[in-house]
Amino acid sequence: PISTMTITIPPALSGSSQVVTLLGYGALLSESSSRLTFPDLSNFRHVRVKHHKRVFAHPHLFLIKEGLVDPISSLELATLSAEPSDDDSSSFIAAAFDVVLTDEQRVDFVKREPEYDIVSTPYYDINRHDDGNSQPVGSGIICLASKDSDMRDIDHLHAISTKLKDKGGIWHWPCDSGLLPANIYLRHCLLAVQKAGGVAYSSFLEDTYLVDRKTTLKEYLDKHEDMVMASRPPPHLATRFGG
């Protein structure tokens, strides 16, 4: 891996090509939301990621840092990750888009996603009939669940991990922990994915799970959507968490 200052660029991001395909599976399912972070992206499309599960399974570190969720008193503080699954039926719709990343921008990307395992994974055409033998049409960079022991020491990650050690740290919340999505973040994702519409929207509801890996987001929203949509970010974060 390439080291730039104190940041180690993971192998998936350290190739010689300046053009990188990124895979987004939350708010980045919307092209307009993706362009807030990557204004010069190209070739935006929706694809299928197989053999992975999309889950609300770890705390939203930025919201904790901003004091907008309290990990000690509340369980409504999870953000999204994707994790490998042995279940052949596990898959979800993601956004794929191409960006030109300089070395400095690669460092910024790693800093922005400090807790994740940043790897490359194949993706599949959503319009091609899937008989179980379809071949990937490309590969892209995706942020996967990690382990607390493997995380980069950025933004005091290990301090948060230690503070929450009895609950599950960052990446080790048990399936029966009762961890729930952070309302401000989930509202942001829903507003963004509603813009995307179609299969991206239906997959987000049906192929996203709570920490128990059984309850779908659709089932959760059937009971809690009004509460989620009423949760507004503070004015200075209205754009960042506005879909």
Residues of the chain with pLDDT > 90: what percent? 72
Amino acid at 235: P
Q: How confident is the model at residue 67 (pLDDT cuts 50, 70, 90)?
A: very high
pLDDT at 1 over 60: no
pLDDT at 206 over 90: yes
C-alpha 241 chain-centroid distance = 14
Q: How confident is the model at residue 221 (pLDDT cuts 50, 70, 90)?
A: very high
Q: Output the pLDDT for position 151.
A: 79
Give the separation between CA 141 and CA 106, rounded to whole angstroms: 12
Q: Output the pLDDT for position 155.
A: 57
Q: Output the pLDDT for position 159.
A: 83
pLDDT at 165 over 60: yes
Whose structure tokens read 């960006």? Answer: 99
**The tokens of 151 are what?**
């995380």
Q: Collapse the DSSP code of 88 into the 3-class scheme (helix H, G, I; strand E, B; otherwise coil) and give the result.
A: coil
Q: Tell me, yes or no, if the pTM score tops 0.85.
A: yes
* Mean pLDDT calculated for residue range 213-224: 98
pLDDT digits (tens, 9 = 90+) for 187-203: 999 999 999 999 999 99
Taking Cα atoms as reference points, which of 147, 214, 150, 219 lies closest to residue 176?
214
Q: Output the pLDDT for position 3.
A: 39
CB 45 within 8 A of CB 97: yes
Q: Collapse the DSSP code of 203 into the 3-class scheme (helix H, G, I; strand E, B; otherwise coil) and give the result.
A: helix
- The DSSP letter of residue 216 is B
CB 76 within 8 A of CB 69: yes
Give the separation between CA 177 and CA 148, rounded to whole angstroms: 17
Look at 184-188, 205-209, 234-238 and tell me which has the smallest mean pLDDT.
Answer: 234-238
pLDDT at 103 over 50: yes
* Mean pLDDT calculated for residue range 156-160: 80
CB 170 within 8 A of CB 160: yes
Give the separation between CA 205 and CA 195, rounded to whole angstroms: 14
